[in-house]
Amino acid sequence: MIKKIRNIINRRGKNRKCSVCGNTMAHFEDLEEKKQNKSEFLSKLQMVGMKTTDFNCVFCGSNNRLRLIFLYFEKLDFWKNFAHKSVLHFAPEVQLFRKLQVIPLEKYIIGDIDPERYKELNNGKIEIVKIDATQINLPDNSTDFIFFSHILEHIENYQKALSELFRVLKPGGKVILQTPYSKLLKRNFSDENIRSADQRLFFYGLQDHVRIFSETELLGAIKNVGFISEIKKISDFFSTEEIQKYGLDSNEDLLLFSKN
């Protein structure tokens, strides 16, 4: 009963606003306690993209990293760029899926290592296919836009995944490559002896992460594949008040890249 009353009061608040559904509330919900990593190790690495407070919208369930993408796209008037284009969406966020469904896309493909978990999204207008990001079963230069958000940190051979994304993207095409990274580390951090779920949670942030990216090495690897940076700096687009209002990570830029 107490939780229900708190939820009702929260929904009547005006301090926070969701850029996905447009609703206001007193505060966003923090990430579930059991999913949070509170290791002293990670707290020292100046991590970007791992904000656990102000996480979920109480109305639509969108998380802070998705709200960030929606806000950037609104600021950049970017949604219009998808009209009559082909989109490859890895591990799709439901709210973003619904937004794209109202745009007249040329083609929309949902890709995942376990496509069964997205079968309820199938409305006959999209393809839901099993895709290994390190071996994408699509032709060269076949996709205008790729959403690949918070996936690289789960992949052992991430360089191969980047090469595959570059291969299937059309010249002039764009890709979103959001992923957690450290501003402190000069090199990526991983070790083959860090294997157990508890060890990965402590050192990498989640039980199925396989490394901590260094900002320098991550961006270098993306550039080496051939992508051209179109990174949008959060400080160039949002005020401190907006960052707080929408519950964003104040250091998280939009990792947008293109293929020349």
180 touches 153 (CB < 8 A): yes
How many domains does the chain contain in total?
A: 1
Q: What is the pLDDT at residue 34?
A: 57
Q: What is the pLDDT at residue 36?
A: 67
Of the candidates 188, 196, 242, 217, which has an alpha carbon nearest to the alpha carbon of residue 67? 242
Q: Give the C-alpha separation, 127 to 118, whole Å.
A: 11
Q: What is the pLDDT at residue 87?
A: 97
Chain-centre distance of CA 47, in angstroms?
15
Q: What is the pLDDT at residue 125?
A: 73
Containing structural domain, residue 78: 2-258
Average pLDDT, the chain: 94
Q: What is the pLDDT at residue 3?
A: 78
Q: What is the pLDDT at residue 216?
A: 97
Q: What is the pLDDT at residue 35?
A: 63
Q: Which residues does the chain have with pLDDT short of 50? A: none
Q: What is the pLDDT at residue 186?
A: 97
User: Tokens at residue 220, please?
Assistant: 């270098």
Sheet holding 169-176, edge to edge: 127-130, 107-112, 86-90, 143-147, 169-176, 256-258, 228-229
Task: Name residue, tokens 């995944």.
Answer: 161
Q: What is the pLDDT at residue 58?
A: 95
Q: What CATH number is associated with residue 50?
A: 3.40.50.150
